[in-house]
Amino acid sequence: MARSSLDIERDTPAETGSRISRRDFFKAATAGAATVTVGVATVSSAQAQEWDEETDIVVVGSGCAALSAAAAALQNGASVKIFEKGPVAGGTTGKSGGAFWIPNSPYMQEQGMDDPRDDAIRYMCRLSFPHLYRPDDEHFGMDQHTYDMLAAFYDNGARVTKTLNDTGAMTSLMSMSWDGGPTPDYFAHLPENKANHGRTTNPKNAEGGSGFGFDMVRQLSAYTEANGAPVTTETQVTKIVRDDEGRVVGVEISDPDGTRMVRANKGVIFGSGGFTQNTEMRNNYLRVPVRGGCAVPTNQGDLVNMAIEIGAKLGNMNEAWHQQEVLEEVLEFSSVPSGTWFLGGDSMVAVNRYGHRLYDEKFVYNERTRTHLTWDAVKAEYPNLYQFMIFDDHAIGYGGMLMPPAGSDMPSHIIKGDTWEELAANIDARLASLEDKIGKHSLDSTFLETLAKTIERFNSYAETGKDLEFNRGEQPIDKHFHKPGDNNDKPNPWMYPISDTGPYYAIILSAGTLDTKGGPVTTTHGQVVDISDEPIEGLYAAGNCMASPTGQAYFGAGGTLGPALTFGFMAGEHAAKA
Amino acid sequence: MARSSLDIERDTPAETGSRISRRDFFKAATAGAATVTVGVATVSSAQAQEWDEETDIVVVGSGCAALSAAAAALQNGASVKIFEKGPVAGGTTGKSGGAFWIPNSPYMQEQGMDDPRDDAIRYMCRLSFPHLYRPDDEHFGMDQHTYDMLAAFYDNGARVTKTLNDTGAMTSLMSMSWDGGPTPDYFAHLPENKANHGRTTNPKNAEGGSGFGFDMVRQLSAYTEANGAPVTTETQVTKIVRDDEGRVVGVEISDPDGTRMVRANKGVIFGSGGFTQNTEMRNNYLRVPVRGGCAVPTNQGDLVNMAIEIGAKLGNMNEAWHQQEVLEEVLEFSSVPSGTWFLGGDSMVAVNRYGHRLYDEKFVYNERTRTHLTWDAVKAEYPNLYQFMIFDDHAIGYGGMLMPPAGSDMPSHIIKGDTWEELAANIDARLASLEDKIGKHSLDSTFLETLAKTIERFNSYAETGKDLEFNRGEQPIDKHFHKPGDNNDKPNPWMYPISDTGPYYAIILSAGTLDTKGGPVTTTHGQVVDISDEPIEGLYAAGNCMASPTGQAYFGAGGTLGPALTFGFMAGEHAAKA
C-alpha cells in the first residue's frame, strides 16, 4: 500500500514506531494516579501574598490550543507558564495527524484559490447545526453567538496561520492528497461547499515537508521554550483561583513535589482537552453512546468540573469528534492508539447484527460513527451499536486501514472463518467472550441470510462500479482517504467483489471519539462566560475543552485542530493585552 | 371513538375544554416577561437578619415533584412555602394525563400481582442505559449511583403512593385499560419484563374514578393549602441563597411586587421542571434535535443555571421524555398543548421524505421520536427530521389521535390532496411556506415512487393482519393506546388498507419532548451533590429538574410522574428531618 500525505489523519506517529511504548507509558502514568478533586478557590486580597510563583499568563495543557495560546501571549509581550498534566507534552495533538483546517488559508490565497467569507461560513453553519440551518437567513439559522464564533474563525484563521508561520513559531504548508491535488474537505461533494479543496493545512516536519501532530508540538513547544516558557509536565492544575471580586488571578497546581499556588497577572488559558476519558460525563452528556477514544488518558473533563464550580455556561456538551474503534482495543484501554479513520480493503463491507450495510465504508469517520446511534423503537435496542467489518484475502492484499500488512501476524481482534457459517459462529463466540464487558450481544438469526443478499448486491455494485445504495468511492474524500491497492482493476477501485470462497474475516467496531467538543462557552476572544453571558475576567478556554461553535460538524481533515489553533491564539492575544 | 382510561396519557384536560384559554393565558403571561437572571447569592452570618420571610422548607414549583415534596415535609412536621413561577399552579403535571408508574404498587400488592425487586430493577436498567446493560452483572451494568437510584425508586415508590393515598394527600388507584385489564407497560413485550401490567397508577378524580394531572394537582395543592402551605403563583425563585459555609439557607424570590429574601431553616427543594423551553440548552445538551414540547413555558432551565453557579454536578443532560409534535403547532408556540402520544387512524402510515416507513405507528411516543435522530452520513442530513403521517377518509372515520372528529372543521395543519401527486405537491408547498422558520425542506424526488411501494406493502400487511416490518398492533401497548374504531373488520384492527382513491391527507411531524430529564445529580434522598459527589446541605431537587436515573427510558404510562412523586416525597421527608 502506498503511503502519502493523506496518512496525516489516519496513521498516527504512534503507529509508525513508538505506539506500544507510548501507550504503556500513559497506562503506567495513569494507572496508579489518585483521583484528584479539581475545583475553584477564592482568595481575598489579604491572602494575595501567599503565591509560590508568578507569571502573566498560565496555560493549562500542551496540545495545539494551549501551545498556540502560549505562542500568541509570548508574541504579545507576556510572560507564560505552561502546565501539562500528563507525562509528555503534546496531549492528543501529539498523537494526531497534525492537519489543521483553515478556511481561506494563506496558502490558498497564495495560489489564488478563492474562498469567499459568506460561502465558507455557510458551509460551516450547514454542517454544524444541520437541523437549524436556513440558507436564506442572515445567520444561516444559527444563533448570534454561534454565527459570530464561526465568522471569527473565518476572519482570524488565516491570520493566525500566517503569523505562526512567519514568526517561525509553527511553519506550515497546504496539505496535498496522494493524487497531487489539494486535500478535499470532508463534504467537498455538497453543493454548498464552493472552495472545497485546499483548506487543510499541515505543520512542516523537520525536513520542511508535510508533518504530523508531533511536528506541531515539536515546533510550538520549541518556540515557547526558546521564549522562556517550557512545558512543565506531570503538573495538574487542580484549582482555578479567583479573587473576591470573581476575577481569575491564578491557579493551584499539583505535581509529584506537592501543591503550589501560581499567580497569573493577566489570565489563565485552558487548552486541556475534553472529557473522553471520563465515563460518567460521556454517558451523561454525549449524543452517541461511545466507549472511549483517541484522547490521551488525562482528558477527563477537569475543566467541565471547574467550569461548573466557577459558574461558567456550558455549551455543545452533546457533541464529540467521532470515530469508530476496534471494540477489543477500546475494551483493553479506553485511550485507543488510533481512530478507524476509514475502513481498508476493497472486497469489504461493514454491516450490523442483521447483516445490513449502513454507509459508504470509505466515507468520513465522524459521520459513519453517527450510525451507531440509530434506535429501534420496538426492540428497544441500538441495532448498529456494534458493527462488523467483513472482508476476504483480496481485501488484505489491497491494503488500507485495519488490514494486516502482508506477512504480519494476524491481530487477535480479527475473527476468521473458512465459511460464512463459521465466521458468524466465531463472531458470536467472540461476542460471548466479551459478555462481562459489553453484556449479551449476538448476531441476529437472520444475519447470514441477509448478509448473503447484502454481499450479492455489493458484488454487483463492484462489477458495475456503481454503489446504488451509498455511492461508495464517489465522494472526493473517499478517494483521498485511500489510494487504491494495485490488485483492483474494477471500474470503481474502492470496491471489489467479495470472494465466493473463504477464508473470511471480521472486526467488531464500536463508536468512539477523537475527543469531545463541549465545555465552557467563550467569547470570540476565548473568554469564558458565566451563565449570564458575561465574561469571567481572567479565564479563557480553547480547543476541545471549550464549547465548540462547530456543533456536530467535522469540516475536513484538521477540522479539530484548525479552530483549536485559531481560538487558542486569539485567547493568548487577548489575555496578553489585558 | 370510544374514550377510556387510556386517555390519561394522550388527551390532556386542556384538550377537553380549556385548551385555548389556558394556552393564551400562558402566552400572555410569558410574552412580555423580562429575562430574569437567576443565580446564587451568598450571605455572611452578619447578614442573617435581613430575611423578609422565614419557613422551614421552600418548595420551588407546583407540579407533581414539588407538591409531593411539600406534602411529605408537612407530614413530617415542617412548615413550608411553595413558590410557582407561572400564573397557575400545576406546571406540566397540570397539563398531563396524571398517570404515575410505580413498580410493585400498593394496588398490585392488594391484588396479589407479584413484582419482584430484582425483575423490576432489571427492567429499568435494561431500558435506562441500553448500551450499558449487562444482565448478569450485579448492578445490571449500571454505575453504582444509577443502580442505587433505581433501587431506591423501587424500594420507596409503593410506600410513597400508599402514604399519600392513606393520608388523603393524594388518593389513587390502579390504571386500567379500555379492555378492562390493568394498563400494560410500554415494553410489556420484552422478555425481561415480568410484571408487565398494573404498575401504572392514577390519581382519583373528584368522583373517585381515574383522574388526570389536574386531579393530582387539585388533590395535592388542596392538601398543602389545608396544612398551611398554599401555592403562591407568579413568584419566581431567582437566587439560591447560601451561607458562608456553603449551606443553602434560603432563596431570593421575585414577584410583581418586587424582590424578597426568604429564609429556609431546613432546606430548599426544587421541583421546577426541565429546560424544554430554553432553545440554547436544548441545542447544547439534548441528543435528539427537538423544537419544543409539552412543558409549560416557564420550564426554561432555571435550575440548570443555578446548579452551575452553585457548583452542582449535572447528569442525564442528553435526555428528555420524547414525543412527536405537529410541526405547525410547535412553530406557532413552542409549548404545545399536547403530545402526539400515538398516531390515530388505521389506514395510516408515517413516512420520511423518501417515503419509507420508520416504525410501528401505534408504538410508544418516546421511542418513535428517537427515529428523528437517524443521520445520513454522506448526505449530511437527518432524513427523518420531519415525518409525514399519511391517511385517508377511512382513517378519519376510525378516529384516534390527530384525526379530526366527524363533522369538525379540518385543522389547517392537515394537508389534503385528491391524488398522491397532489398530496405530495401540497406537502412541498407547505414545507416551502415554512422555509423562514425551518429552512429548505422538501420531499425527495423518489418520494412518490417509494411511497407507492410502502403503501402496497402496508396494504398487504393490513389484509393479512401481520406487519412484516414493524409488527404494528402486536405489542400490548399498541392495543392499549388505541381502542379500535368500529369500521375495521380486518384481522389486525390497527391496520386497514389505504384507499386506491383520494382524497389523501398528511400531517408534518417534528421531534419534541414532554420535558427534559437532566439537571443536578442527587442522592437517593434528593440532596443535590457537588462535583465531588458531596451533598450540598439544604439543597434538593426532584422531578424533571433533577438528573433522572432513568436515562433514556420511559418505562410505562406515568414513567415521568412516578419517579417525580417518589423522589419529591423522599426529598421532603429528608429535608423535614434535617
Question: Quick check: B26 pLDDT over 70?
Answer: no
Question: Closest by alpha carbon to B572, among B146, B224, B267?
Answer: B267
Q: How confident is the model at residue B24 (pLDDT cuts 50, 70, 90)?
A: low
Residue A578 predicted with pLDDT over 90: no
SS3 at position B395? helix
Which of B134, B315, B359 lies closest to A377 in CB terms? B359
Local confidence band at B47 (pLDDT 50, 70, 90 cut-offs): low
**Closest by CA position to B568, among listed B70, B224, B214:** B70
**Whole-number Å distance between alpha carbons of B65 and B571:** 9
Tell me whether residue B429 is exposed, middle or buried, using C-beta atoms within 10 angstroms of its C-beta: 0 to 12, 13 to 18, 19 or more.
exposed
User: How distant is the Cα of A350 from the closest Cα of chain B, in angstroms?
Assistant: 14
* The three grid cell numbers given for residue A401, joined into one nine-digit string: 486501514
With a CB cutoff of 8 Å and minimum separation 6, the contacts of B246 are: B536, B537
**Nearest by Cα to A107 from A6, A199, A212:** A199
Place of cell 424570590: B253
- Strand pairing of A535-541 and A258-270? parallel
- Rounded to whole angstroms, the Cα distance separating A39 from B405 reads 59
Report residue A30's pLDDT band, with 50, 70 and 90 as the boundaries.
low
The larger pLDDT score, comparing residue B379 to residue B49, is at B379
Question: Would you tell me which residues 211-270 of chain B have a C-beta closer than 8 angstroms to some C-beta of chain A?
Answer: none
Q: Are A203 and A5 in contact (CB under 8 A)?
A: no
C-alpha cell at A537: 475576567
pLDDT in tens, B277-335: 999 999 999 999 999 999 999 999 999 999 999 999 999 999 999 999 999 999 999 99
> In A, residues 368-407, which contact B (CB 8 Å cutoff)?
368, 370-371, 373-375, 377-378, 380-382, 385
Interface of B with A in 144-183 (CB under 8 A): none
d(CA B172, CA B174): 7
Tens digits of residue pLDDT in B186-224: 999 998 888 899 999 999 999 999 999 999 999 999 999
Q: Residue B530 and residue A309: Cβ atoms within 8 Å?
A: yes
Q: Is the pLDDT of residue A279 over 60?
A: yes
Element (H, E) at B513: strand B504-516
Are residues A377 and B363, on separate chains, in Cβ contact within 8 Å?
Answer: yes
User: Among A64-78, A105-119, B39-53, B416-430, where is mean pLDDT lowest?
Assistant: B39-53
Confidence of residue B254 (pLDDT cuts 50, 70, 90): very high
Q: How many residues would you count in chain B?
A: 578
Per-residue pLDDT tens digits for A371-415 = 999 999 999 999 999 999 999 999 999 999 999 987 888 999 999
- For A81, residues 6+ apart whose C-beta sits below 8 A from its C-beta are A53, A55, A57, A58, A59, A229, A232, A262, A264
Comparing B310 with A14, the larger pLDDT belongs to: B310
Q: CA A445 to CA A428: how far, in whole Å?
A: 11
Residue B152 Cα to chain centre, angstroms: 21
What is the grid cell recorded at B512?
Answer: 419534541
Question: How confident is the model over B20-39, as a mean pLDDT?
Answer: 55
Task: Locate B353 and state its grid cell.
Answer: 421524505
Give the pLDDT confidence score for residue A27 in this predicted structure. 57
ipTM entry: 0.93
pLDDT > 90: percent of chain A: 88
What is the distance between the terminal CA atoms of chain B, rounded to a whole angstrom? 52
Average pLDDT, chain A: 93
Strands A53-60 and A80-83: parallel
Pick the residue of B132, B308, B382 with the most A CBs within 10 A to test the interface with A by mutation.
Answer: B308
- Structural domains of chain A ordered from first start: 24-96+213-321+517-576 (3.50.50.60), 100-203 (no CATH), 324-513 (3.90.700.10)
pLDDT value at residue A31: 46
Lowest pLDDT segment from A140-144, B25-29, B241-245 = B25-29
Given the C-alpha cell 492484499, which residue does it identify? A397
Q: Where are the beta strands (DSSP E) in A172-223?
A: 172-174, 200-203
pLDDT in tens, B75-85: 999 999 999 99
Nearest CA in chain A to B145: A280
**Dist. CA A252–CA A43, nearest whole Å:** 11
Other CB atoms within a 10 A radius of the CB of residue A16 amount to 11
Task: Please report residues of B whose CB lies closer than 8 A to that of A245.
Answer: none
pLDDT tens digits, one per residue of B450-475: 999 999 999 999 999 999 999 999 99
State residue B412 phi and psi, 5-degree precision: -65, -20
For chains A and B, count residue pairs whose Cβ atoms are closer than 8 Å: 176
Q: Which has more pLDDT, A49 or B408?
A: B408
Instruction: Say how many CA atoms lie within 13 Å of A347 toward its Cβ.
Output: 25
Q: With a CB-CB cutoff of 8 Å, which residues 407-436 of chain A face chain B?
A: 435-436
Average pLDDT, chain B: 93
B432 CB neighbour count, 10 Å cutoff: 11
Chain B residues closer than 8 Å to A126 by CB: 380
Maximum alpha-carbon separation in chain A: 80
Q: Is B298 helix (H, G, I), strand (E, B) or coil?
A: coil
Q: How many whole angstroms from its chain centre is CA A49?
A: 41
Shortest Cα distance from A561 to chain B (angstroms)? 21
What's the whole-number mean pLDDT along residues B58-68? Answer: 98
Q: Which of B152, B145, B102, B101 lies closest to B571, judged by CA?
A: B152
Q: Name every chain A residue with its beta carbon within 8 A of the beta carbon of B283.
A: 129, 132, 143
CB hemisphere CA count around A79 (13 angstroms): 8
Distance of CA B280 to the CA centre of its chain: 20
Q: What is the band of A254 on the pLDDT scale with cuts at 50, 70, 90? A: very high
Cell of B287: 441528543
Location of C-alpha cell 421532603:
B572
| Minimal CA separation from B330 to chain A, in Å | 15
pTM (two decimals): 0.94
Mean per-residue pLDDT for B476-488?
Answer: 93
Q: What is the C-alpha to C-alpha distance for residues A394 and A416, in angstroms, rounded to an integer?
A: 14
Question: Beta strand A504-516 with A320-326: parallel, antiparallel or unpaired?
Answer: antiparallel
- pLDDT higher than 90, residue A218: yes
DSSP per residue, B204-255: B-TTSSB--HHHHHHHHHHHHHHTT--EE-S-EEEEEEEETTS-EEEEEEEE
Compute the nearest-CA separation of B318 from chain A (Å).
5
The answer to whether A313 contacts B317, with C-beta atoms less than 8 Å apart, is no
Q: What is the model's pLDDT at position A194? A: 83
Task: Note whether B130 contacts A309, CB cutoff 8 Å.
Answer: no
pLDDT band at A33 (very low <50, low <70, confident <90, very high): very low
Nearest to A531 among B39, B378, B475 (CB): B39
- Kindly state whether A139 is in contact with chain B, defined as any CB-CB distance less than 8 angstroms: no
Q: Which B residues 42-81 touch A at CB under 8 Å?
A: none
Residues B96-123: what's their mean pLDDT?
A: 97
Alpha carbon distance A79, A56 (integer Å): 5
pLDDT at A29: 52
Percent of chain A having pLDDT more than 70?
93
- HSE toward the beta carbon, residue A325, CA cutoff 13 A: 27
Query: Closest approach of chain A CAs to the CA of B468, in angstroms?
Result: 13
Query: Residue A247: which pLDDT band, with cuts at 50, 70 and 90?
Result: very high
What pLDDT shows up at residue B317? 98
Starting at the edge strand found earlier in the chain, the sheet holding A200-203 runs: A100-101, A200-203, A172-174
> Is A118 at the interface with chain B, CB within 8 A?
no
